Amino acid sequence: MGTIAYMRSMGREQPDDMPDSEELEHDDLIPVDDEMPAADLEAIPEKLKAGTAVIAGFVRNLPNAPGVYRMFDAAGDVLYIGKAKNLKKRVGQYAAGRAHTNAVARMISETCQMEFVTTGTETEALLLESNLIKQLRPRYNVLLRDDKSFPYILLTGDHEAPQITKHRGSRQRKGDYFGPFASVWAVKRTIDALQKAFLLRSCSDSYYANRIRPCLLFQIKRCAAPCTGEISIADYGRLAQEAKGFLSGRASGVKQELARRMQDAAEAMEFETAARYRDRLAALSAVTSSQDINTQGVEEADVFAIDEQAGQFCVEIFFFRNFQNWGNRAMFPRADRNLPVAEVLASIVAQFYDDKPAPKLVLISHKIEDVDVLAAALSARMGHRVELVAPRRGEKRDLVEMALKNAREALGRKLADTTAQTKLLAALGAAFGLEKAPRRVEVYDNSHIMGTNAVGGMIVAGPDGFMKAHYRTFNISAGTIAGDDYGMMREVLTRRFSRLVKQNGVENPVPFLTIANADGDDIPSDAAFPAWPDLIIVDGGKGQYEAARVVMAEIGVSHVPLVAIAKGEDRNAGRETFFGMGREPFRLPPRDPALYFLQRLRDEAHRFAIGSHRAKRKRDAMKNPLDEIAGIGPTRKRALLLYFGTLKAIQRASLDDLARAPGVNLATAKAVHDYFHDS
């Protein structure tokens, strides 16, 4: 990394060395060739001038060197992160204040501060840019919204008998990782077949160390049972090497070797041995044949294809390893609708490999600018050459076309779902007499057993359905009376809206934007999903409604409609009674689509609250009292349990017995003894 320089200023002077328009580079992420309408410019002239003046104040002291720039608003939030081959020229484009799209004009008008990091090369700038975008998630950048990690198969290398297991997250454990797979189901299916073929253990190291006889997996021929010596460590190691070779792309060689052993065993009249090899071959064939689409000439590659419809984007990714298709996943990035698809694709590829290993070949559906820089950045990150290609013919082009077709179909389904969801939200607004369709609906429910492990749950629904990234749980404090449902609801709403007011004020800070779908209908834009709800629903009757209403009044929130939904007679769906909206208790017609939608919302809130309660109850049930003793960490806890065997034995032990445990000094022994014998 080159020299790092941080700059912040509120300068207003126009620099003398501003580049002429002929010198301005093409915008790396946002196009500038679409003139902004004059009416829009007139609507924000002062803000736009102020923003360009702030930016112009930095240009004088910027170097003609590659780097990364960040734009901040008045609150200090990052608006945009970009990289440049020449910082001085690139930032000078914004200071010119002309020939920008609406989104770029808004971004400039909101800019109050900037920061810069100079790097040694443009490749370093690209790497830093992708890292910062993923960490800070600026409002005006293309954002990869699917942050779920991909599953891998791990063949461990830190044990004499390697374990085969599913793995997610950082790859810190020693061993060989194979993937990524598009779904957990694909990993489980492959591991199941590999256990049949190579008899590898899937148990944890602690389970392995405490076995005195083979487990059920040995009986059903899914494990060779090295834990009890049913197979020698050397022979088990050979099985592990065969499995590694198969996953590394040497499938044909492994299958040929197994076929030879089967033939030799049959010729030697060892038919049981031959049958075992036959079963292993069948399992390997299941792995290779179960892939939907295999390749002939592409051993290892990721395929990216992007489609755009109605201002929304879909990126479909296919994973090919060992000439096999390991699945695909559709992603829907957040991006300005005016961006060319190639620029969105370039940004997505850079962000995608920020925390994932890149294969040797990446196939893309569109030719992108600076492809050599992006390939060099991926190569530098991976330590091996990564080729980035937009193929025009042959099998590689067929793979891209297949991914492009899937992207087009996935985006079509999403737009259809969004349209249907928008109509349901409109029906909900009409049912409750709202002035417009709600954009964000929050539903609250509580769950507990006799007041214990009480949890409050909040689910959120919007134009894209259930917005699970916005779900929240609230652990009810001990100060709330056990079993007081009204008190629990008051605590949940107080915590939720007090924080919301503190962070965003009492007005909805995000304007509601829409886009047009293929039929010309308006569809809410996820980029403008508001922080404030347009409708609050609490699960309960008149008492819950009154408790919620009092809380909202105390906080000073009066602009958000509030409704309580009470279960019908005999708890029958379709007979729900609603409280609030300035009306007497009322019901909706039994076949009203809005009623069905409300039932779905209520059931989802119920499911989420119960699931959170069960998880908390399980954690409490499994909590070890030793964890609550000061000075007892994992090492001393393990030493005590190994020495005494059980927690009850530790509770009954005398001070002298505790002090004799390995790694436990007198002070620690006294702390443990006093905890269990406080009298």
Q: Which CATH superfamily is domain 432-613 in?
A: UvrC, RNAse H endonuclease domain (3.30.420.340)
Same fold, 21-136 and 625-676: no
Pick from 312, 334, 508: nearest CA to 419: 312
- Quote the CA–CA distance of 572 and 566 in Å, as a whole number: 11
Counting every residue written for the chain, the total comes to: 679
Instruction: Look up residue 452 and give its two tokens.
Output: 């214990």
* Residue whose tokens read 């190569």: 379
At the second CATH level, the architecture of 300-412 is 2-Layer Sandwich (3.30)
Which residue type is seen at 379? S
- The interaxial angle of helices 542-555 and 485-504, nearest 10 deg, is 30
- Please state the pTM of the whole predicted model: 0.59
What confidence score (pLDDT) does residue 372 get? 86
Pick from 5, 20, 105, 106: nearest CA to 58: 5
**CATH class for the region spanning 625-676:** mainly alpha
What confidence score (pLDDT) does residue 301 get? 87
> What fold, for 21-136?
GIY-YIG endonuclease (3.40.1440)
Q: Would you kindly state where each structural domain of the chain is located, as residue ranges?
A: 21-136, 152-289, 300-412, 432-613, 625-676
Residues 6 or more apart from 429 whose CB is under 8 A from it?
435, 436, 437, 438, 535
* Residue whose tokens read 């699917």: 146
**What H or E segment, with its residue span, contains residue 89?**
helix 87-96
Instruction: Look up residue 194 and give its two tokens.
Output: 């590999």
What confidence score (pLDDT) does residue 135 get? 79
Q: How many CB atoms within 10 Å of residue 465?
A: 15
What confidence score (pLDDT) does residue 44 get? 47
Average pLDDT, consecutive stretches of 10 residues, N- to C-terminus, the chain (679 residues):
38 38 36 40 63 84 87 87 88 72 81 86 84 83 71 87 85 82 76 81 86 86 87 89 76 72 80 76 61 64 88 86 77 83 88 81 88 86 85 88 87 81 88 88 86 85 87 81 80 90 65 38 52 90 88 87 80 74 83 86 90 80 70 79 79 83 83 76
Phi then psi for residue 217, to 5 deg, are -60, -30
What confidence score (pLDDT) does residue 535 get? 92
